[in-house]
Amino acid sequence: MFFLFSKSKIIISIFEKFFEFQKAFHQIIFSWIPFSFGDLFYVLSGIIAAYLIYQCFRKKKRNNAILKLLLIINLFYFSYQVSWGMLYFQTPIIKKLKSQEKPNVIKAKKLALRYLEKCKTTRTQVSEDKNGIFVARDLKKIQEEIILQQLKLPKYISDKKGTQINSFKSSLFRNVMNYSGILGYYNPFTAEAQYNSMLPSSFIPFTLAHESSHQLGFAREQEANFIAYLVGVNSKNLELRYSTEYFTLKSLLRFIIEEDPNFVKSILNHYSKGMKRDQLYERSFILKHQGWLDDFFGITNNLFLQSNQQEGSVTYSYFIDLLLNYEQ
Residue-level pLDDT at 315: 46
Residue-level pLDDT at 263: 96
Rg over CA atoms, the chain: 21
* Domain locations along the chain: 2-89, 93-327
Residue-level pLDDT at 34: 92
- Per-residue pLDDT tens digits of the chain, which is 328 residues long: 888 998 999 999 999 999 999 999 999 999 999 999 999 999 999 999 999 999 998 888 889 999 999 999 999 999 999 999 999 999 999 999 887 778 789 999 999 999 999 999 999 999 999 999 999 999 999 999 999 999 999 999 998 988 889 999 999 998 888 888 889 999 999 999 999 999 999 999 999 999 999 999 999 999 999 999 999 999 999 999 999 999 999 999 999 998 999 999 999 999 999 999 999 999 999 888 776 445 544 544 455 455 455 454 434 589 999 999 998 8
Own/partner long-range contacts of 115-121 (Cβ < 8 Å, ≥24 apart): 115/245, 115/248, 115/249, 115/252, 116/249, 116/267, 116/270, 116/271, 118/245, 118/249, 119/242, 119/245, 119/246, 119/249, 119/271, 119/272, 119/275, 120/271, 120/272, 120/275
Residue-level pLDDT at 210: 97
Record the pTM.
0.90
